[in-house]
Chains A and B, each alone.
Chain A
Amino acid sequence: MGTILNVEDINVYYGSIHAIKGISFHVDEGEVVTLIGANGAGKSTTLNTVAGLLRSKTGKIEFLGEDISNTPAHKLVEKSLALCPEGRRIFLNMTVKENLEMGAYTLDKGTDIAGEIEKIYDLFPRLKERYKQVAGTLSGGEQQMLAMGRALVSQPKLIMLDEPSMGLAPILIEQIFDIIKTLHSQGVTILLVEQNAQAALSVADRGYVMETGTISLTGTGAELLASPEVKKAYLGS
């Protein structure tokens, strides 16, 4: 099992605000790793930096052994790194199928794109029922499924999920986490950012707890679930 993603000592600023203060972490092949923490701890900033939407002033980000610290965001998909962004950000005026086709944008001309999209439909049967519908007319849960499906079409080596349960009803949150478990059992490597610490830690192999731009705690999912600090701060007990 090799390391897929290795992040070393990154520092990210928004203007004069020091948002990420020298954090390091790694994700190994086949793992589900979660970053948990309160609102504003820097979880999304970390994912956006790995995805190339933001830049770190120091350190390096290695993906599959290659330094990607300065690679533009649109080139990373080709390198097999996908981000399913916070707030879903699906293309609301395009149909479900067109959204999935956009996910396949970087696949080679010869690829069986219809076949790849079919695999996504197997994972999310609801999307198949609604493939002709304009994405803006989907329910919140369906939109989240579409966002995840869109990120998965290109069969990335690492998929980063930013708050997939945000704003969803409890039953839908359960469904989303079931899908994460399914993906895990299929060997997909996942970096998961969540405010729902309980759910995230119960599906994760390992986790990192973030606090105002730093990593304060790390351990296996089970260890963190049992940790008194995590319990007190994030699990409400």
Chain B
Amino acid sequence: MSFLNYLVSGLSLGSIYAIIALGYTMVYGIAKMLNFAHGDVIMVGSYVCFFAMMRFELPPVIGVLLAVLVCTILGIIIEKLAYKPLRSAPSLAVLITAIGVSYFLQNSALLLWTSNPKVFNSIVGKGSVNIGALSISYVTLLTVGICVVIMIVLTTFINTTKMGKAMRAVSEDKGAAQLMGIDVNKTISMTFAIGSGLAAIAGVLLCSAYPTLMPTTGSMPGIKAFTAAVFGGIGSIPGAFLGGILLGVIENFAKAYISTEFSDAIVFGVLIIVLLVKPAGLLGKQVNEKV
């Protein structure tokens, strides 16, 4: 039965990757840029929730909501100050700026909250549900549940609402979207807001499962989630979910059955193989234009 336990914890880790990967993939799809500061937004969200719960003794739900609010605003501000002035700049300039924003956030966190690790109290109790030999902790249940809810809500939003359809239009062709009367800047801002809000949720879930919180907490999960987004096909929302979940499961199995030290190497090795076979990722789009 240990196989099932590894699978469940892999799904849980994968759900966190998936929620983070959404932020990468949506921003890439719409603004055509890689926001490497995304991982650090996760860290900020975790600190906000941590202080709300520990210092101000607010209930976890309020802590999570505050984290989402702060990160949403942070995402909008980052976009406005750092990326918007570079809208027509070469993509390399935007990439370097994103790395700069990432360092800025990490070092600000270092100044504000020091490098001492904080012990994050899970937002749900420590108990678990036991089915035979299979034991699923509350955090795992919550994480997978939230991931499924986000997947359903986001897919519905993108496919059926006017704003969601406008986002798809902008991701396909900014110029044509403008000709429809869609405000492209507003749409990009909205995308950063959604992605950063989701990053806050991912941060809280991450720290609930792995309770050490430091200014660098967001970096590695951020890179893994970016990998997951590429794995699934960057720009594709279902791809981000699939990539995230698969990455989490593969990583956990690699840790359990092969080697803990090599698990990351195995994960990235799988990515390389997938990209060799399917360069656009598992669910990447490839549309041929007709004449």
Contact = CB atoms under 8 A, between A and B. Distances in A.
Interface in A48-79: 51-53, 72-78
Contacts of A75: 181
Closest A-B pairs by Cβ, 8 of them: A77-B181, A106-B181, A89-B176, A73-B178, A102-B180, A74-B178, A105-B180, A91-B172
Interface residues on A, range: 20 to 34
A120 to B, nearest CB: 14
Given A82-B179, A105-B162, A89 B169 contact: no
Interface of A: 51-53, 72-78, 82-83, 85, 89-94, 98, 101-103, 105-106, 136, 138-140, 143, 150-151, 154, 167
A123 to B, nearest CB: 18
B176 A92 contact: no
A189 to B, nearest CB: 17
Contacts of B178: 52-53, 72-74
Chain A contact residues: helix, strand, loop or mixed: loop
Interface of B: 162, 165-166, 168-169, 172-173, 175-184, 285, 287-291
Contacts of A52: 178
Nearest to A89: B176
Contacts of B290: 136, 138-140, 143
A72 B173 CA distance: 17
Contact of A51 (B177, B179, B184): B179
12 contacts: A53-B175, A74-B179, A74-B181, A75-B181, A82-B179, A89-B173, A92-B287, A94-B165, A102-B180, A106-B181, A154-B181, A167-B291
Contacts of A105: 162, 166, 180-182
Given A73-B179, A74-B183, A85-B175, A102 B291 contact: no
Given A102-B166, A102-B177, A136-B287, 12 more contacts: A77-B179, A77-B180, A83-B179, A89-B175, A92-B289, A93-B172, A94-B165, A98-B165, A136-B289, A139-B290, A140-B290, A151-B179
Given A77-B180, A91-B176, A102 B165 contact: yes
Contacts of A94: 165, 168-169, 172
B150 to A, nearest CB: 22
B180 A103 contact: yes
Nearest to A166: B291
B176 A78 contact: no
Contact of A93 (B162, B176, B287): B287
A90 B168 CA distance: 12
B184 A74 contact: yes
Contacts of B180: 74, 77, 102-103, 105-106, 150
A91 B167 CA distance: 12
Contacts of A136: 287-290
Contact of B165 (A74, A101, A138): A101
A93 B142 CA distance: 34
Contacts of A73: 178-179
A83 B179 CA distance: 7
A91 B169 contact: yes
Contact of A91 (B162, B173, B285, B291): B173
